[in-house]
Amino acid sequence: MRRANLNSWLLAAPLTGVLFVFLILPILLIVAVSFWSADEFSFRPDFQFGNYEYLFGSAVAWKVFGLTFMMSVIVWALTLAIGFTIAFFLAFHVRTQKWQMVLFLLTTIPFWTSNIIRMISWIPLLGKNGLVNQTLIGAGLINEPLQWLLYSSFSVCLAFVHLYTLFMVVPIFNTMMRIDKSLIEAARDGGASGFQILTNVIIPLSKPGIMIGSIFVIALVMSDFVTTRFMSGSQLANVGRLISNDIGLLQYPSAAATAVVLLITVLLIIGAMLRLVDIRKEL
Amino acid sequence: MSKMRYSRRNILKGGAAAVAASAFPAPMIWAQEIKDVVLRQAGTGVSAFNEVAAKVKEDLGFTLEMTALDSDAVTQRAATQPDSYDIADIEYWICKKVWPTGNLQAMDISKIANYDKIAGTFRDGKLTPDSVIAQGTAPHTVGFVEGPGSTTFATQDSGWMTLIPTIYNADTLGIRPDLIGRPIDSWAELLNPEFKGKASILDISSIGIMDMAMVCEAMGEIKYADKGNMTTEEIDKTIGIFMEAKKNGQFRAFWKSFDESVNLMASGEVVIQSMWSPAITAVRAQGVPCVYQPLKEGYRSWGGGIGLSAGLSGLPLDAAYEYINWYLSGWVGGFLMRQGYYSAVPETSKLFMSEDEWGFWYEGKAATGDIVSPGGTVIEKAGAVRDGGSFLDRMGKVACWNSVMDENQYMVRKWNEFIAA
């Protein structure tokens, strides 16, 4: 008994060590630095709440946190709807495994380009003189080019959905593939309609996949800064940009405080989501 | 620390070398070891050209590794990671921020061969004897310190320089004349409602705030005591005017990197914006008309130079001085002048430029033949005249320099609010 106990501790030790050094320790450091004080080009160890006071007292910070959260929710809803549909199509409508894999790989296309290239390539499509505006003007639907297509919340949202839908598709597709087909046959034999099968069989059994995908998307959107910067033409801010601005200006303690608040916010959201579905039990 | 460590033992290795080294220490070490020296230069992208590194290898024998970063990132690195670079290629306002950290070392001007030929702007602040010194962080105000180890700036030439000036220019607004169709002559036009949704300003607070100040002053909204050192009320008012404009949809986008400004202009998303000189050239190279518009209120100017990391000593330090002397000896100057910048020692650059190039870029004369960029593309045809004219016309009309203010932290917070609003 004692020996087995020791063995399992030893087996877990390397991973614990790695996680402690590369995850726990850096986070503790960030928390510690968030209480430091700083002036223009130096910062020193201290224990004061000035960084948090400024953060919570700033109307702009509240607004930015709100916008970031709202963007996460919108992107989450869209990627879920699109991702679920794609996964459903791949898992239940595509018959052969070969085609399932081919189509699945196609969904990774957004990852073939870098953010910079995407940023440049949106201009010819969505810009004032871009393809979309020219087509609409040519078709006589509008007289003036639509400004909101590019450098707006719309374009930021579009880029996010374009990028992160894959993170929904993968886990949902994975759980759907594990659904025993005989369950669906049984439901059909029992007289369930297609819609009833979807809501009573497939969605409940896909929940772990949906939840994992949701965690990915929300964590990614909440922590993003580069997509927002490029796609809004720097006109919109999110929490990531607040942090990167602070870092750029050597305000590490202030950046650390913002990072800590962001971390807590994301953990709370994920904690709440995990209450809804026990991933470990259902996997 | 520098990658190169030269212990006495190493250098004195071998009996013959030891004898020679004790007889003529420096030249001997120089000849043998210089090829192994690697100098790491971190700087803003403006002067980080591979051609320069290649030429250093060819002319001086040692290796120059260049890292190009944006202004904020360079400041950060210079102030917090002194061991990560040997040479800091930075602007004067960055020097004002970084110098007090003690990460750079003062340079002895007696080791700079062409010191006397450096433009007056960098020595006593006066381009010509009757020039008026512009507002902001003028290079000569942070160009000298009292001596080695000193962290306070000297008010005049003390023999110890913080940065050796290398490059500078006068910036203004870039416009698309074909899409505007009327003359533009004032900074105030940036906020003209006529250009709603077609304007842009750069998102680098220390430079952007100066462009804003030029605009607000030109509009007659604010009269600054010193644009380069605003009071908190002046900052509030300036940013307030721009926040209002942003809410009204004046701006199409903000840009942070050179390529973004080129894309915004070339695609026609923006018709008037803050811009840097080579970006104009890049837009024109795509066949799109673009003018670096001289404005009646004058230019916003900037200057850059080379600083040495405090950790640099021994042979790499000698190599760095050699590099600086080479930098000022003309080849790089000519190379930079052909991009539309000015060299700190125009006299020597002239030797490396054709008469036509010198006439076009420096004297503001009409080109007699094709003007070719260092990359080999034709950027101007015969008969073209540089926007803004000659060196004295442009640098003589500097209204302010890029700056760091006493209220910098406050300004930065306000700037972040402007971007987030």
Say what the alpha-carbon torsion angle A197, A198, A202, A206 is, to the nearest 10 degrees: -160
Taking the CA of residue A231 and the nearest CA in chain B, the distance in Å comes to 9
Say what the alpha-carbon torsion angle B54, B107, B123, B281 is, to the nearest 10 degrees: 20
Residue with the bigger pLDDT between A124 and A214: it is A214
What are the structure tokens assigned to B188, written together? Answer: 């105030």
Q: How confident is the model at residue A115 (pLDDT cuts 50, 70, 90)?
A: low
Q: What is the mean pLDDT of chain B?
A: 87
ipTM of the predicted assembly exceeds 0.95: no
Q: 11-40 in A: which are within 8 Å (CB) of B?
A: 39-40
Give the pLDDT mean for A164-175: 92
Q: How confident is the model at residue A216 (pLDDT cuts 50, 70, 90)?
A: very high
Q: How confident is the model at residue B239 (pLDDT cuts 50, 70, 90)?
A: very high
Give the pLDDT mean for B299-325: 93
Looking at the predicted structure, is the pLDDT value of residue B48 above 50? Answer: yes
Q: What pLDDT, on a 0 to 100 scale, did the predictor assign at position B32?
A: 61
Q: What pLDDT, on a 0 to 100 scale, did the predictor assign at position A263?
A: 95
Is the Cβ pair A60, B420 closer than 8 Å? yes
Give the pLDDT mean for A50-54: 90
Domains observed in chain B? 36-169+303-350 (3.40.190.10), 173-297+390-420 (3.40.190.10)
- DSSP per-residue letters across B16-27: HHHHHHHHSHHH
Q: What pLDDT, on a 0 to 100 scale, did the predictor assign at position B14?
A: 43
CB of A233 within 8 Å of any CB in chain B? yes
Residues of chain B positioned with their CB less than 8 A from the CB of A128: 267-269
Taking the CA of residue B20 and the nearest CA in chain A, the distance in Å comes to 47
Contacts of B67 (CB under 8 A, 6+ apart): B40, B41, B42, B43, B48, B85
Inter-axis angle of helices B314-327 and B25-33, nearest 10:
80
CA–CA–CA angle B420, A246, A47 (5° rounding): 125
Cβ neighbours, 10 Å, residue B241: 17
pLDDT digits (tens, 9 = 90+) for B159-188: 999 999 999 999 999 999 999 999 999 999
Contacts of B359 (CB under 8 A, 6+ apart): B365, B366, B367, B368
CB of A242 within 8 Å of any CB in chain B? yes
Chain B interface test: which of A151, A230, A244 (most B C-beta within 10 Å): A151
CB of B226 within 8 Å of any CB in chain A? no
Using alpha carbons, select from A33, A52, A53, A51 the residue that is nearest to residue A43: A33
Is the Cβ pair B80, A250 closer than 8 Å? yes
Q: How confident is the model at residue B12 (pLDDT cuts 50, 70, 90)?
A: very low
Q: Tell me which of B12-16, B54-58, B227-231 is least confident.
A: B12-16
Taking the CA of residue B210 and the nearest CA in chain A, the distance in Å comes to 17
Q: Which of B97, B98, B255 sits opposite A234 (nearest CB)?
A: B255
Cβ neighbours, 10 Å, residue B73: 15
Q: 252-271 in B: which are within 8 Å (CB) of A?
A: 252-256, 263-264, 267-269
Q: How far apart are CA A239 and CA A233, in angstroms?
A: 16
Is the Cβ pair B76, A250 closer than 8 Å? yes
Q: How confident is the model at residue A123 (pLDDT cuts 50, 70, 90)?
A: confident
pLDDT digits (tens, 9 = 90+) for B261-278: 999 999 999 999 999 888
Q: What percent of chain A has pLDDT over 90?
A: 56
Q: What pLDDT, on a 0 to 100 scale, did the predictor assign at position B74?
A: 87
Taking the CA of residue B73 and the nearest CA in chain A, the distance in Å comes to 6
Domains observed in chain A? 54-282 (1.10.3720.10)
Residues of chain B positioned with their CB less than 8 A from the CB of A126: none
Using alpha carbons, select from A164, A165, A153, A159 the residue that is nearest to residue A71: A153
Q: How confident is the model at residue A230 (pLDDT cuts 50, 70, 90)?
A: confident
Is the Cβ pair A245, B419 closer than 8 Å? yes
- A40-44, A171-175, B21-25 — which one is most confidently predicted on average? A171-175
CB of A189 within 8 Å of any CB in chain B? no
CB of B205 within 8 Å of any CB in chain A? yes
